[in-house]
């Protein structure tokens, strides 16, 4: 068996089924082009019969990318297969992905059928799809809860009918890693013609085990993994591409090969998150904001001595260039000294001690200590005023009016006022600022947190802006959440300027 593991990305099909994540064709093409740069082997571009928009996206993605195989989903229904084949007509390499449910739930209570009739339908669908394309993948929906013996019968029949790939989805995310691995091993050992097809994993994350299940599938003989960027997908999501790829890359002992340019991972994650309006949780493995951030003193000291003391992945390998040392109240002298050296300050031990004392006092009242804060602590406070200051903010919003905001900013000593409307008051205020300072920034993250529980207490806002491929963070805190939002936005903007 080859050790190449094929990466089948279904961000644009299973990922896109998430409410609120729908993309238009132009956006899908942008994601598909980035997936091609990332090096995925297969892009599942849509479910053509489901809507004219999905059909069109499969057509346009087929024209826009040439290296990956383009796959289109269908049910085991002739009309679905015809429409999918039509949508794939421009694909250099097209694949039809057809299938049917094989668990007792699906056979009896969803399809109102019986096991033999299901095999018949599956075989018929594969044979029909093979009339249009040479590459046909079969999915046994809810294979995770299907009986292994019956599943093996289905898989043997569809391979005999011409399936080139057999997908074993854990549709409901029910399996344990040992159970899912044993299922794949059962098929490897009990389906006589299994060597004629590639086994594919397709795991959902309902119990948080999608990545573990996928890897267990690979270890037991699967050679294709169906994954999404950032683990997007219905309910708790699908297996995350970045986690599986980096697990394989880290565990060289497993000796699997994936053709992914890992340096494109963060860029792809950010693009998908932005277009699908799905922020990535800060502690998400590989692509979360904190995935490579060390804040405790002991860890920072260890990382500064040798990165590998606390890191199994070099952040640069997944396209992360930012400093991994975050200065907080838990940072030690080693981290402070290191950051000061990066900023050009060589201080003797006595001065470091003195700065460290003040650093701890400031860190207790602030979430993170920025480079500007450090400049102040070492006594080199920039004498000039902040170049952007909020002078005034007026917001109108309510149940039956269009939200609008008037923002007055002191920008480099000039007082400028602009008014804008928006989807909400925050959007209106940010749009007004954009009119005053028209930088090409993208709002990557907007987070509001209450510092205490009462509605009259302080709220903290964190804003993350992307500018020229780099992320800039801004913070604001105020009893008025809109003022805090504008401060946070201006804070991030002033770092850009």
CB 461 within 8 A of CB 448: yes
Provide the minimum distance between the beta carbon of 343 and ligand KIV in the complex, in angstroms, as a whole number: 50
Provide the minimum distance between the beta carbon of 9 and ligand KIV in the complex, in angstroms, as a whole number: 13
d(CA 343, CA 416): 33
Q: Using the rule CB under 6 A, which residue among 69, 102, 171, 240 binds ligand KIV?
A: 171
Residue closest to 262 by CA, chosen among 250, 273, 276, 279: 250
130-143 in b/e burial notation, b at 16+ Cβ within 10 A? bebbebbbbbbbbb
Q: Rank residues 145 and 249 by Cβ distance to ligand KIV and give the closer one.
A: 145
Q: Rank residues 167 and 211 by Cβ distance to ligand KIV and give the closer one.
A: 167
Measured CA to CA in angstroms, residue 145 lies from 115, 152, 179, 478 at distances of 14, 13, 10, 51
Query: The tokens of 368 are what?
Result: 């993170």
Q: Judged by CB under 6 A, does residue 430 bind ligand KIV?
A: no
Q: Judged by CB under 6 A, does residue 422 bind ligand KIV?
A: no
Strand boundaries in 300-421, DSSP class E? 388-396, 404-411, 414-421
Q: Judged by CB under 6 A, does residue 202 bind ligand KIV?
A: yes
Name beta bridge partners: 396: 404
Q: Judged by CB under 6 A, does residue 139 bind ligand KIV?
A: yes
Provide the minimum distance between the beta carbon of 13 and Zn ion in the complex, in angstroms, as a whole number: 8
- Only one of the segments 147-155, 164-172, 306-314, 488-496 lies at the binding site for ligand KIV (rule: CB under 6 A); that segment is 164-172
Q: Judged by CB under 6 A, does residue 14 bind ligand KIV?
A: yes
Identify the sign of the CA torsion 302, 308, 311, 314: positive
d(CA 152, CA 156): 6
d(CA 90, CA 32): 15
Strand, coil or helix: what is 119?
Answer: helix
Q: Rank residues 8 and 489 by Cβ distance to Zn ion and give the closer one.
A: 8
d(CA 70, CA 12): 11
Q: Judged by CB under 6 A, does residue 169 bind ligand KIV?
A: yes
d(CA 493, CA 497): 6
Strand boundaries in 442-497, DSSP class E? 442-450, 459-467, 470-478
Q: Judged by CB under 6 A, does residue 44 bind ligand KIV?
A: no
Strand, coil or helix: what is 225?
Answer: strand
Provide the minimum distance between the beta carbon of 139 and ligand KIV in the complex, in angstroms, as a whole number: 4
Q: Rank residues 35 and 465 by Cβ distance to ligand KIV and give the closer one.
A: 35
Q: Rank residues 217 and 476 by Cβ distance to ligand KIV and give the closer one.
A: 217
Provide the minimum distance between the beta carbon of 133 and ligand KIV in the complex, in angstroms, as a whole number: 17
Residue closest to 88 by CA, chosen among 123, 47, 122: 47
Residues 6 or more apart whose Cβ sits within 8 Å of residue 107: 101, 113, 114, 115, 118
Provide the minimum distance between the beta carbon of 55 and ligand KIV in the complex, in angstroms, as a whole number: 17
Query: The tokens of 472 are what?
Result: 């800039």
Q: Rank residues 16 and 141 by Cβ distance to ligand KIV and give the closer one.
A: 141
Provide the minimum distance between the beta carbon of 234 and Zn ion in the complex, in angstroms, as a whole number: 7
Q: Using the rule CB under 6 A, which residue among 9, 16, 60, 141 binds ligand KIV?
A: 141
Q: Rank residues 128 and 139 by Cβ distance to ligand KIV and give the closer one.
A: 139
Residue closest to 188 by CA, chosen among 174, 168, 212, 162: 168
- Only one of the segments 167-175, 323-331, 400-408, 472-480 lies at the binding site for ligand KIV (rule: CB under 6 A); that segment is 167-175
Query: The tokens of 50 are what?
Result: 């489901």
Q: Judged by CB under 6 A, does residue 106 bind ligand KIV?
A: no
Q: Rank residues 15 and 474 by Cβ distance to Zn ion and give the closer one.
A: 15
Provide the minimum distance between the beta carbon of 180 and ligand KIV in the complex, in angstroms, as a whole number: 13
Query: The tokens of 108 are what?
Result: 């009896």
**What is the Rg, in whole angstroms, of the alpha carbon atoms belonging to the chain?**
27
Q: Rank residues 227 and 318 by Cβ distance to ligand KIV and give the closer one.
A: 227
Strand, coil or helix: what is 389?
Answer: strand
Provide the minimum distance between the beta carbon of 14 and ligand KIV in the complex, in angstroms, as a whole number: 5
- Residue 139 near which of ligand KIV, Zn ion, none (CB within 5-8 Å, type-dependent): ligand KIV
Q: Rank residues 227 and 481 by Cβ distance to ligand KIV and give the closer one.
A: 227
**CA neighbours within 13 Å on the CB side: how many for 115?**
13
- Only one of the segments 163-171, 294-302, 421-429, 437-445 lies at the binding site for ligand KIV (rule: CB under 6 A); that segment is 163-171
Residue closest to 471 by CA, chosen among 437, 442, 440: 442
Provide the minimum distance between the beta carbon of 197 and ligand KIV in the complex, in angstroms, as a whole number: 15
- Residue 466 near which of ligand KIV, Zn ion, none (CB within 5-8 Å, type-dependent): none
| Vertex 241: Cα angle to 239 and 243 (nearest 5) | 85
Site residues (CB under 5 A) for Zn ion? 14
Binding to ligand KIV, residues 237-266 (CB under 6 A): none
- Count of residues in contact with ligand KIV, rule CB under 6 A: 8
Q: Rank residues 167 and 483 by Cβ distance to ligand KIV and give the closer one.
A: 167
What residues make contact with ligand KIV under the rule CB under 6 A? 14, 139, 141, 167, 169, 171, 202, 204
């Amino acid at each position: 068996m080859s050790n190449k593991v094929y990466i089948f990305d279904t961000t644009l099909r299973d990922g896109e089924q998430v409410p609120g994540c729908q993309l238009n064709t132009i956006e899908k093409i942008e994601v598909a082009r980035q997936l091609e740069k990332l090096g995925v082997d297969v892009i599942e571009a849509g479910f053509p019969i489901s809507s004219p928009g999905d059909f069109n996206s499969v057509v346009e993605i087929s024209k826009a990318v040439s290296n990956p195989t383009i796959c289109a989903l269908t049910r085991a229904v002739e009309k679905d297969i015809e429409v999918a084949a039509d949508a794939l007509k421009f694909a250099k390499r097209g694949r039809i992905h057809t299938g049917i449910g094989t668990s007792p739930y699906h056979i009896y209570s969803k399809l109102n059928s019986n096991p033999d009739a299901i095999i018949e339908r599956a075989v018929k669908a594969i044979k029909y799809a093979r009339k249009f394309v040479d590459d046909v993948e079969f999915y046994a929906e809810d294979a995770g809860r299907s009986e292994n013996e019956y599943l093996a019968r289905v898989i043997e029949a569809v391979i005999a009918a011409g399936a080139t790939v057999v997908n074993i989805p854990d549709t409901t995310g029910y399996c344990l890693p040992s159970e899912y691995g044993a299922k794949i091993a059962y098929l490897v050992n009990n389906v006589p013609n299994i060597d004629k097809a590639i086994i594919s994993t397709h795991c959902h994350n309902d119990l948080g085990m999608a990545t573990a299940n996928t890897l267990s599938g690979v270890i037991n003989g699967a050679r294709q993994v169906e994954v999404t960027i950032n683990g997007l997908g219905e309910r708790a999501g699908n297996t995350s591409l970045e986690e599986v790829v980096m697990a394989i890359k880290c565990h060289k002992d497993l000796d699997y090969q994936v053709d992914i340019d890992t340096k494109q991972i963060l860029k792809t994650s950010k693009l998908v998150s932005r277009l699908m309006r799905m922020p990535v949780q800060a502690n998400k493995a590989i692509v979360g904001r904190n995935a490579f951030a060390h804040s405790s003193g002991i860890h920072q000291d260890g990382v500064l001595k040798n990165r590998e003391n606390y890191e199994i992945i070099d952040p640069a390998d997944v396209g992360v260039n930012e400093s991994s040392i975050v200065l907080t109240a838990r940072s030690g002298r080693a981290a402070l000294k290191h950051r000061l050296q990066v900023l050009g300050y060589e201080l003797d031990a006595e001065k470091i001690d003195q700065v460290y004392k003040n650093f701890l006092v400031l860190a207790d009242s602030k979430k993170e200590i920025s480079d500007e804060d450090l400049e102040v602590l070492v006594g080199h406070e920039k004498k000039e005023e902040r170049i952007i200051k909020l002078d005034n903010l007026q917001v109108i919003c309510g149940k039956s009016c269009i939200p609008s905001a008037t923002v007055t900013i002191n920008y480099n000593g000039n007082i400028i006022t602009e008014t804008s409307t928006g989807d909400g008051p925050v959007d209106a205020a940010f749009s007004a600022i954009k009119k005053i300072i028209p930088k090409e920034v993208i709002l990557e993250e907007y987070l509001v947190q209450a510092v205490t529980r009462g509605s009259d207490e302080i709220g903290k806002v964190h804003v993350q802006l992307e500018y020229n491929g780099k992320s800039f963070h801004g913070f604001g805190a105020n009893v008025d959440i809109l003022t805090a939002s504008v401060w946070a936005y201006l804070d991030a903007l002033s770092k850009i300027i």
